[in-house]
Amino acid sequence: MKVTLLQHTPDPEMAVALAARLCYSPIGIDELKERLSRSDISAFLDKIMSLGHQSVLEHASFTFGIEGISRATSHQLVRHRIASYSQQSQRYVTHTEQFSAVIPPSIAGRPDLAARFKSQLKALHDTYAELFEAGIPAEDARYILPNAAETKIIMTMNARELLHFFGLRCCERAQWEIRAMAVEMLRLVKGVAPTIFRDAGPGCVAGPCPEGTMTCGKIVEVRKRFKEMYV
């Protein structure tokens, strides 16, 4: 898996703070911008986020390039509807060579099952190739490709939706692959918007575990991990 922060709103925390200040100020935008110092921005963001004034976070957006994830994970990802996606097409990108696939660690760690898994992947590719060579359109031959097939996707989300996304997908109860992707995304955005994402992560980082009786039971460990996350 490879996750890259391709681009983001220039100075995302300034954009958010400026939008928030504007809501409460009679002066013009240029003057507001001149008055905002870095310390003001951090303090003001702390205040508006503690008050739940999160609509202003939508002024900051982040675009990620994501490669080497499975179709199983991309199907989960696109369920987050407040985002923009561009995904590698299995209709227009054909697999003349065997398609790359993600093998879950639970299978990869068991040689006998891993061998059977890989054998099935090869059989699926061979059938795909036979269909394609027989003149079946790629858009129809792709029906045989598995959820394990790797894909690439470019995704843009605003900061408000990212906080929601991290709350769900960084959780220990999230599926392992999308969790690993979400944690890396969080590490990347913390580097450019540390105040906005300071308490980001699963719901238990900044409050009680939202999973109730389904809790993982590792709240202390999880909080420590995300509070100390490197950037």
Q: What is the DSSP string of the chain?
A: -EEEEEEE-SSHHHHHHHHHHHHH-SS-HHHHHHH--HHHHHHHHHHHHHTT--GGGGG-EEEEEEEEEEHHHHHHHTT--SSEEEE--TTTS--SSPPPB---HHHHTSHHHHHHHHHHHHHHHHHHHHHHHTT--HHHHGGG--TTBEEEEEEEEEHHHHHHHHHHHSSTTS-HHHHHHHHHHHHHHHTT-TTTTTT-SSGGGTSS-TTGGG--S-HHHHHHHHHT---
- What's at 206, amino acid-wise? A
Q: What per-residue confidence (pLDDT) applies to 26?
A: 83
Is the pLDDT assigned to residue 172 strictly greater than 80?
Answer: yes
Q: What per-residue confidence (pLDDT) applies to 38?
A: 77
More confident residue, 228 or 7: 7
Ligand-binding annotation for 81, yes or no, is yes
Distance between CA atoms of residues 129 and 96, nearest Å: 7
Ligand-binding annotation for 142, yes or no, is yes
Residues in the chain: 231
More confident residue, 115 or 26: 115
169 is catalytic: yes
Long-range contacts at 89-92 (CB < 8 A, ≥ 24 apart): 90/138, 90/139, 90/142, 90/145, 90/149, 91/138, 91/139, 91/142, 92/138
Ligand-binding annotation for 76, yes or no, is yes
Set 21, 71, 169, 179: catalytic member: 169
131-167 tens-digit pLDDT = 999 999 999 999 999 999 999 999 999 999 999 999 9
User: To the nearest whole number, what is the mean pLDDT of the chain?
Assistant: 94
Ligand-binding annotation for 173, yes or no, is no
Is the pLDDT assigned to residue 184 strictly greater than 90?
Answer: yes
Ligand-binding annotation for 160, yes or no, is yes
Q: What per-residue confidence (pLDDT) applies to 231?
A: 66
